[in-house]
Amino acid sequence: METNQPTSQPVYAPASAAPGMFGTKVPSAVAFAAGILLFLMPFADIRCGGFKVAQKSGLDFALNNEWKIATGGFGGDTKTDKALSAGKEEKGNTQYYIIGALGLGVLGLMLTFAGAKAGGGGVVTGVLAAGALIAFMIELKKNFANSLRQQAIEKATEKTNDFGFNSLDDAKAVLTITPWLYVAIVAFLAAAFFCYKRMSAPK
């Protein structure tokens, strides 16, 4: 009678996959921080006759600061004054949108350091921050166009000329959104994506 029993082979459990870079807080934290820092950059320019007359950063919009005269512009002449007066936004939601975007960006950064469980909040805040910046951009353009239209009406009543502008150069005052604003939008959307990837990464 045989007494030899077959030896059982040890069972090795497969090691859990490493979370990788997307499983850490680094990508989302960097993206949120970049989006916040971009508020220090010019978000909009006022140009007159093809020249940049003034600019305003995202932080300036949030703090409701005045437009800053751009170096190399028209200086303090009449054209600059009229372009800047067109840049005085009507009472609207631009400041609320920009403050909301900045606040959501800061909140998203804090949620990033709170842990992976707060990743859903990071996704929401990142998307909402980008949406607030888009709404800010739309509202800013609308208010600037309304300001120019109001100037034309006021000058028309003063009978300066049929269009309400003293010269053709005055009619060329335009608001230009800088690439920094678009980069900030992309940064917040990227932060939301990285938060999502962190949530779905293997633990």
The pLDDT score that the predictor gives to residue 91 is: 56
Please answer whether residues 23 and 201 qualify as being in contact, where contact means their C-beta atoms are separated by less than 8 angstroms.
yes
Which pLDDT band holds residue 52 (cuts at 50, 70, 90)? confident
Residue 15 domain-assigned?
no
Q: Which of the residue ranges 38-47, 72-81, 107-116, 133-142 would you say has the lowest mean pLDDT?
A: 72-81
- pTM of the predicted protein model: 0.75
| CA pair distance 97, 102, nearest whole angstrom | 9
pLDDT of 18 strictly over 80: no
Residue 13 domain-assigned?
no
How far from 50 is each of 16, 91, 174, 176, 182, CA to CA, in Å?
Answer: 60, 27, 9, 11, 21
Residue 8 domain-assigned?
no
The residue among 110 and 117 whose pLDDT is bigger is: 110
The pLDDT score that the predictor gives to residue 41 is: 96
Residue 115: domain span: 21-200
Residue 4 domain-assigned?
no
Sheet holding 42-48, edge to edge: 68-69, 51-57, 42-48, 174-177
Cα of 13 vs its chain's centroid, Å: 47
Residue 14 domain-assigned?
no
Residue 175 domain-assigned?
yes
| Residue 44, domain CATH | 1.20.140
**What is the count of structural domains for the chain?**
1
Question: What distance, in Å, lies between the first and last C-alpha atoms of the chain?
Answer: 51
pLDDT in tens, 116-129: 666 788 899 999 99
The pLDDT score that the predictor gives to residue 13 is: 46
| CA pair distance 203, 195, nearest whole angstrom | 14
Give the phi and the psi of residue 72 in degrees, each rounded to 5: 90, 5
151: CB partners within 8 A, 6+ apart: 82, 85, 86, 164
The pLDDT score that the predictor gives to residue 156 is: 60
| CA pair distance 74, 54, nearest whole angstrom | 10
Residue 110 domain-assigned?
yes
Residue 6 domain-assigned?
no
